[in-house]
A and B are shown apart, each in its own frame.
Chain A
Amino acid sequence: MTIKKLDGKVPAGNVSEVWDNHRFNMKLINPANKRKFNVIVVGTGLAGASAAASLAELGYNVQSFCIQDSPRRAHSIAAQGGINAAKNYPNDGDSIWRLFYDTVKGGDYRAREANVYRLAQVSNNIIDQCVAQGVPFAREYGGTLSNRSFGGAQVSRTFYARGQTGQQLLLGAYSAMMKEVGKGKIKLYTRREMVELVMVDGKARGIITRNIVTGELERFAADAVLLCTGGYGNAYYLSTNAMASNCSAAWRAHKKGAYFANPCYTQIHPTCIPMHGENQSKLTLMSESLRNDGRVWVPKKPGDKRAPNDIPEDERDYYLERKYPSFGNLVPRDVASRNAKEQVDLGKGVGATGVAVYLDFLDAIKRDGEDVIRQKYGNLFDMYQRITDDNPYEVPMRIYPAVHYTMGGLWVDYNLMSNVPGLFVLGEANFSDHGANRLGASALMQGLADGYFVIPYTLGNYFANEKPNEQKVGTDHEAFDKAYNEAKDKYQQLLSINGTQPVDYYHKELGKIMWEYVGMSRNEEGLKKAISQIKDLRKQFWKDVKVPGENTNVNVELEKAGRVADFLEIGELMARDALERKESCGGHFREESQTEENEAKRDDENFCHVAAWEFTGVDNEPIRHVEELKFENVKLTQRSYK
């Protein structure tokens, strides 16, 4: 067990020229030869759909897989706020360099500089591409694109389409993809779940999928496999992720040798609708833009059960405005979330459950009038009222943080390839660009950057160098048999346990452990407890889970069981990574590492690196490899939002 120093393969040179030089230095595939290469793309979110479309346009044969009944339903669709780009249309001082700088800083200096710079560079192309596809971005009366400031950014660089930016961008990528489906360059497989990665001679050469409608296990071979399968936030059971969002494709690739990087970096979004009770199945996020006008407060007195409007002004604590006078309610997501938890832990939480804080618009309504507020947030207010039955025009909203995004993911180099040759990872599924904390409106940007403007180049370079097409691998190869049997046995085993508790029970129990000990605030004792509790829960799951039915039909419980089995493993790794990272940074807050003012304190001396974990067996200790991070362009400073 030797700890490797991983190489991110960032080409040498000035950060602003690295990508351009690299594009020139990468090898090309002759247009006529591209049709000789087959590519598997798993997932059809922003990263998967844009990659599938772009690669098919170049001439590669693409096979695309999604878990839903249509590629258009991937969870990218739920992003509300917007997408960043360094267009500087508002002439307010934005630039590629500034977007780069803000993103590295926002990620608390735990991302690769060169990756982030490239992201900022291609951000402008993304907007052009989306507009050309017919994405109906908001516009000014003169017909030009409208921008807004988002997530506390000092410049207006966010492009948006009502409160449905993610949906509109995804529909753009989806339509580009369906164009290629119509031409036959993409073969689309819906209601399929990737259950195994197939490796031949140490390279990724195919996948096994489970057909969700028939239960059949199917084999697909290719020259490269792209995982665009999103994050693992549902390890917490309750999150803003969709119900089917899962870590299984990435996790099973991890078990075949792909390193998992920074699993402890999770983003907890501050403005979600609090849970109502035990039967809650998921949490709903409301756009962060609400904090532009809403004021966050709790009663000064713990346990104050009066109705919010009965609590006089001087008995309210606007704690964000008090603690962070210059940023106030617009502090970054991690800071806002942690502070909400702190207030609830002090017994000042509000609402029936006591696990919420107020987000009050009454002052904004007094100042601007109800019409202005309705125009800005009408959709969100309606959604809030539909879910909670409260009218936010009259009563303050109740909000509470919820798991929203995972910055960690499979480790990839500058070319988006994992340590497994031929296995590329895009979008939220990789760990690359957001460091320890993602800024608002940056996730959409990264997914599309990876798919439209990075992978089309770097995949060609891999093909040109490795020539996987010269040793064709068919689905009758013994590696496929082996992977097929592993998958079959696993499902058989799940069906044969026939215990007492349904799958959801275990998922909820895992969620409670994760939220309690691997949530917004973490400490050594709690993380150790989490690791041992997860191990116990996993044992119990494999002894006692109840999965009805058989594997020859739609069997939703069997699907879920397979995914929860993986969450029960990744949860442990998340806790382990959090335990080993003894510093606080971004979304990872270790109570042992804080400033005198209770703010996150980084330890750049010991932890200015990426931790990438190698799988060694389910109950074995994984190996922690590191990739050192060097900052040559951005100066490391302690974040302060005072």
Chain B
Amino acid sequence: MSSRLTRIVGSSIVKKQAMAITGLLLCGFLVTHLAGNFLIIYSADAFNQYAYALTSNPLIYVAEAGLAALFLGHIGMAIKLTLENHKARPQKYYMKKPTGRGSTFASSTMPYTGMITLIFLVIHLINFKFGPLYMTTVDGVEMRDLYRTVVEYFASPLNVLWYIIAMVALGIHLSHGVWSAFQSLGFNHPSYTPTLRMASKAFAVLIVVGYSSLPIYCYLIQGGH
């Protein structure tokens, strides 16, 4: 019965679960991306070689397409859900006050922190992936000097500041999002959920500190190594 399929896939619960799954996979991406970033501290060559290895592998197109699908799926679904939610209450309250026992700053700002992250993502791609193209040779192989692009970009304190702001927004997004994803997928257990909620926050802090540490490092070294 095809209508059953569309009904189930289009149901509020599966939509939430789609948000949860794409969100959690994107968290995986965040971790691997962060690990790669740390090569900047190790050495310029290592970083460039890593970038080269990634981009020269033909599978990159598949990976990028997958990643793009995750992002677009997560964002598209978020927009769809937000619009639906707005429609569910056509007339707003004259006065609405949170109880203080339920929603948090993070939970109530998900669309906004998500939007900041999206804007950041676009700028991020423009600055780096499609940013100034320098070339370098490592071990006789000619490759892009992405290291130089990065370090030059973070020579500007404004760029560093914007990057950190965006990361904080992302962290806030994650502090609710990670726990929330588990809840949407049906995981809620009196013994483990409190720990999971803590872990969700810890993960957010790790992402913020990890990602923000690199621009600060690059700014401090000011192009020298």
Indicate whether A and B are direct neighbours in the complex (CB within 8 Å): no
Residues of B at under 8 Å CB distance from A?
none
Residues of A at under 8 Å CB distance from B?
none
